[in-house]
Amino acid sequence: MIERIGALLKHETAGDPMGGLKWTRKSTVKIAEELLKQGIQVSAKTVARLLRQMDYSLRVNQKRLESGNRHPPSRQQRDRQFQHITELRESFTETGQPIISIDTKKKELIGNFKNAGCSWEQKPIAVLDHDFRSDASAIAVPYGIYDCQNNHGLVCVGTSADTPAFAVDAIEYWWVHERPLYFPKATQLLILADCGGSNGNRARVFKWRLHQQLCQSHAVTVTLCHYPPGASKWNPIEHRLFSELSKNWQGQPLRTVGTMLNYIRTTHTISGLNVSAHLMRRKYATGERVPDKQFKRLSLQRYGPLPDWNYTLSPLNGELIFS
């Protein structure tokens, strides 16, 4: 029964990247109705009990959306985007093409600072009483890439700025070093991302660099789908990778970048998650811009009922136009 429910919620699960809690958009009544269609008669109360066994929990409304957003997505738009993402994930899986979920995890102060959570120790670990950035030896920027089909994660850790160039460098590193292990003949890539941050749907530099460094350099067609604003917790990387990282180093100060990399590499779960880590030594400058004339030369095709959130970048014949 739990396996059947898990299959129904495969693309309907969200989660807390810090605590590991999970929840779903489907109500217990709807889940029971879906099971009945499969010939399994079960009550909504039984579904609720099984969901608790699967570490799902009830969620209440939280004030997290920005009030300044004059055009927030409607419930209908959100549902259409979720359905579109589900259909694309199934299509790419059937054709054996890779699907990755990407995002930047919370920045971490490197030094003898308190880390959330607790651990089994004979005596408390002494840490600094205040988290001043001036006391940190570095500020780590963990950029995550989660392989949805193989339950494998890569975290590229930078000590510079979280920029579109940093995000694309991390994705290109995954394509060159991690992708051949699972998808040696891949010619397409589906990327699931949030609407904000260095890989947001409005980040022109992200699109430009992705086209140049992936499409042109490696002859791959890249399709991007962005989760609606306020729905970042549905991005698989949040509860499949980031929550496990947080649990692995909870209660332990990240005194050095090497310590952080070690915790990332030793993150495993009974479901088979394994994670690799890579230190990005490049210094990234902020404020990069792509002129209109240059941006229009991209082979970018928007599609679907929500073109701002869905588009495909394709290789162009000829030399690179990267600058």
Instruction: Count up the domains in the chain and report the number.
Output: 2
Cα(313)–Cα(257) distance, integer angstroms: 34
Is residue 61 domain-resident? no
pLDDT digits (tens, 9 = 90+) for 155-189: 999 999 999 999 999 999 999 999 999 999 999 99
Question: What integer pLDDT is reported at residue 17 of this predicted model?
Answer: 62
Greater pLDDT, 224 or 60: 224
Q: Containing domain of residue 6, as a range?
A: 2-53
Question: What integer pLDDT is reported at residue 169 of this predicted model?
Answer: 98
**Residues 23 and 136 grouped into a single domain:** no
Question: What integer pLDDT is reported at residue 123 of this predicted model?
Answer: 64
Cα(140)–Cα(127) distance, integer angstroms: 18
Closest to 155 (Cα-Cα) out of 258, 243, 273, 276: 276
**Residues 48 and 82 grouped into a single domain:** no
Across the range 309-322, mean pLDDT stands at: 75
User: Residue 143 pairs with which residues in a beta bridge?
Assistant: 104, 156
Question: What integer pLDDT is reported at residue 22 of this predicted model?
Answer: 59
Percent of the residues in the chain that have a pLDDT greater than 70, as a whole number = 81
pTM of structure:
0.78
Query: 64 falls in which pLDDT band (50, 70, 90)?
Result: very low
User: Residue 147 pairs with which residues in a beta bridge?
Assistant: 100, 152
List the CATH number of the domain containing 128.
3.30.420
Question: What integer pLDDT is reported at residue 70 of this predicted model?
Answer: 52
Is residue 66 domain-resident? no
Given a contact cutoff of 8 angstroms between Cβ atoms, the answer to whether 222 and 312 are in contact is yes
Is residue 183 domain-resident? yes
Question: What integer pLDDT is reported at residue 238 of this predicted model?
Answer: 94
**Residues 168 and 238 grouped into a single domain:** yes
